[in-house]
């Protein structure tokens, strides 16, 4: 499925120019401009004595572009598979979400792969992936104050440091991915991370490494069962740490419970649920 704002058209360019500038055909366009008239003889890139009716350097190609953007970037059709606009990854585009809500196609958490430290992976058939935090982590943090991307590019285990109140939570995805981009908007406004963890709050984008990126992750009924167990374990953990004064709403810890707990307990909570590898190393 492609983004509903994705458009296709024809663009022209000069193959003799040092930089390829694509110009979209269509209403408001002057088509090939002087390249399609006698005027092309005045162009410094054309050899004297050229007799063709239009400039021989003028080329046309099939392109895709974003119909929602005021200044759309044209992408040659042959390279369109490399953009998120042509696949399910469009659901993470800030522009798409801002234009489509409340009717946006939302990510179904049931379709995601889950790591046991509460990070999720969405992977489409073409290999494009996104990574984010799950709703339980978002609920426990309540609000994230700062996001620092430790691995902004390249083959790595995607790693980010989230500042939650006075604590810094290092979140490490357990498997390698070829990271191509991070959600830079979160540096200025981290609120989306906890408000929309399966949409505009995504963290990393990149390409799946076959037989590695999805290894050991949970999905479907297995993931549902695990998450239900985690929520139960969280309620018990908070109750055990704080006793009868625990910040719970019925059986569910209150939003932002990590901020309400004393510092030591909050650190323990992070290690117990969101950094299981660190907890194992410590034990």
Residue whose CB is less far from ligand SF4, 3 or 14 = 3
What is the C-alpha separation between 162 and 141, in angstroms, rounded?
9
**Angle in degrees, CA 216, 218, 222, rounded to 5:** 130
| 93: contact with ligand SF4 by CB under 6 A | yes
In the numeric block, the tokens 């890139």 are attached to 45
| 3: contact with ligand SF4 by CB under 6 A | yes
Least Å distance, CB 106 to ligand SF4, is 14
| 202: contact with ligand SF4 by CB under 6 A | no
SS3 61: strand
What is the C-alpha separation between 180 and 154, in angstroms, rounded?
7
Interface size with ligand SF4, residues (CB under 6 A): 12
Beta-strand relationship, 248-249 and 167-172: unpaired
What is the C-alpha separation between 237 and 153, in angstroms, rounded?
36
253, 234 Cβ separation under 8 angstroms = yes
DSSP one-letter string for 96-131: HHHHHTTS-----GGGSEE-TTSEEEEE-TTSEEEE
Q: DSSP class of residue 282?
A: H
Q: What is the pattern of x (binds ligand SF4, CB under 6 A) and - over residues 16-55?
A: ----------------------------------------
| 63: contact with ligand SF4 by CB under 6 A | no
Least Å distance, CB 71 to ligand SF4, is 11
Residue whose CB is less far from ligand SF4, 50 or 189 = 189
From candidates 40, 55, 88, 96, binder to ligand SF4 by CB under 6 A: 96
| 95: contact with ligand SF4 by CB under 6 A | yes
What is the C-alpha separation between 97 and 185, in angstroms, rounded?
13
| 98: contact with ligand SF4 by CB under 6 A | no
From candidates 58, 63, 85, 186, binder to ligand SF4 by CB under 6 A: 85
| 61: contact with ligand SF4 by CB under 6 A | no
| 68: contact with ligand SF4 by CB under 6 A | yes
From candidates 90, 204, 270, 273, binder to ligand SF4 by CB under 6 A: 90
Closest CA to 269 of 250, 242, 244: 242
Listed in sequence order, the residues at least 6 apart from 36 whose beta carbon sits closer than 8 Å to its beta carbon are 54, 55, 58
| 80: contact with ligand SF4 by CB under 6 A | no
Least Å distance, CB 179 to ligand SF4, is 19
| 5: contact with ligand SF4 by CB under 6 A | yes
> What are the residues binding ligand SF4 (CB under 6 A)?
3, 5-6, 66, 68-69, 84-85, 90, 93, 95-96
């Amino acid at each position: 499925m492609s983004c509903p704002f994705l458009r296709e058209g024809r663009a022209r360019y000069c193959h003799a120019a040092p930089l390829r500038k694509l110009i979209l055909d269509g209403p408001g366009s002057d088509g090939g401009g002087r390249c399609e008239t006698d005027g092309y003889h005045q162009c410094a890139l054309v050899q004297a004595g050229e007799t063709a009716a239009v400039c021989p350097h003028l080329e046309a190609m099939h392109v895709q572009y974003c119909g929602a953007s005021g200044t759309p970037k044209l992408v040659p059709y042959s390279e369109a598979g490399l953009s998120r606009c042509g696949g399910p990854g469009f659901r993470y585009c800030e522009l798409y979400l801002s234009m489509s809500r409340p009717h946006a196609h939302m990510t179904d958490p049931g379709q995601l792969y889950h790591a046991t430290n509460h990070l999720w992976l969405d992977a489409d058939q073409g290999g494009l992936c996104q990574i984010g935090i799950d709703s339980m982590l978002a609920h426990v943090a309540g609000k994230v104050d700062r996001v620092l991307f430790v691995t902004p590019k390249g083959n790595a285990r995607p790693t980010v440091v989230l500042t939650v109140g006075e604590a810094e939570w290092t979140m490490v995805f357990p498997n390698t991915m070829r990271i191509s981009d991070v959600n830079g908007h979160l540096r200025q406004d981290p609120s989306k991370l906890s408000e929309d963890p399966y949409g505009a709050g995504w963290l990393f984008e990149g390409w799946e490494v076959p037989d590695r990126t999805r290894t050991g992750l949970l999905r479907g009924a297995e993931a549902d069962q695990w998450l239900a167990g985690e929520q139960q374990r969280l309620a018990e953990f908070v109750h055990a740490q704080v006793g009868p004064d625990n910040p719970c709403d019925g059986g569910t810890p209150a939003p932002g419970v990590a901020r309400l707990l004393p510092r030591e307990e909050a650190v323990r909570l992070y290690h117990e649920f969101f950094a299981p590898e660190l907890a194992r190393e410590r034990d």
